[in-house]
Amino acid sequence: MKLVIVKDYNDMSKQAAKLIAEEVTRNPKTVLGLATGGTPVGMYRELVSLHQQDGVDFSQAQSFNLDEYVGLPSLHPQSYRTYMNENLFAHINLPEEKTHVPQGDAEDLEAECKRYEQAIAQAGGIDIQVLGIGNNGHIGFNEPGSTKDTTTRVVALTQSTMEANARYFDSIQEVPTQAVSMGIQTILGAKKIILLASGEAKAQAVSQMLEGELTADVPASLLQLHPDVTVIVDEEAASALSAKLRS
């Protein structure tokens, strides 16, 4: 995995947005894999400005989001679809019908998971996948225990993930307990992966991902299996890495 250590959140966001913009400029039909959470908000802000100020064109691109909460209608204020609309889709020229987020309130969730995998395959696979990382090393909503052969499915959220995400809801009781998430195999199927992490709370997970053993207990460590991963972290998120990696 390629490691890029930058000063702070701002630099991380700019570097990541630059990589995405370069990809979309080189291949206008890029299939983007997108993530939610606090980490990529700054990257989306940068992408909006690269579109509005510098004319980066998304009109032929497509996007697939990693995950969505089970039970939330798309237009629920805390759904990941709403997050994407507010942070990115409403501000760039990516056609709405080319944006894909799993439908968390589908009547038949199993069919929805299958449909989502097929839609990704039909699009020719994901060209560049953006990831954040959970404090426990999860990617998407692939919690510890997720093996490398997992595809899009319904997953149960761990207590620590629900606690971390409770900040977006009025109370922890309102945080959904399940999600539809791309699997590790789906993520590893992307041609290129960019993982972002900022802040000290992520330092342990970043170190286990890069320097720990390859194990489903730390799902992000399974990214070691992929040939083209760029990890962009700020100094705080890099603080638990060995001196060898940091130099």
Ligand X SMILES: N[C@@H]1[C@@H](O)[C@H](O)[C@@H](COP(=O)(O)O)O[C@@H]1O
Q: Contact, 80 vs 67, CB < 8 A?
A: yes
For the beta carbon of residue 20, count every other beta carbon within 10 angstroms: 23
Within 150-169, which residues bind ligand X (CB under 6 A)?
161, 165
Residue in 101, 104, 77, 99 with CA at minimum distance from that of residue 180: 104
The enclosing H or E element of 17 equals: helix 9-26
Among 67, 68, 112, 234, binds ligand X (CB under 6 A): 67
Is 33 an interacting residue with respect to ligand X (CB under 6 A)? no
CB-nearer residue toward ligand X: 13 or 30: 13
Catalytic, 85? Answer no
Among 33, 102, 132, 183, binds ligand X (CB under 6 A): 132
Tokens 């990214």 belong to which residue?
Answer: 223
Least distance from ligand X to the Cβ atom of residue 67, Å: 5
Is 186 an interacting residue with respect to ligand X (CB under 6 A)? no
d(CA 196, CA 118): 27
Is 37 an interacting residue with respect to ligand X (CB under 6 A)? yes
55 - beta bridge partners?
Answer: none
Among 84, 141, 155, 220, binds ligand X (CB under 6 A): 141
For ligand X, the binding residues (CB under 6 A) are: 35-39, 66-67, 132-134, 140-141, 161, 165
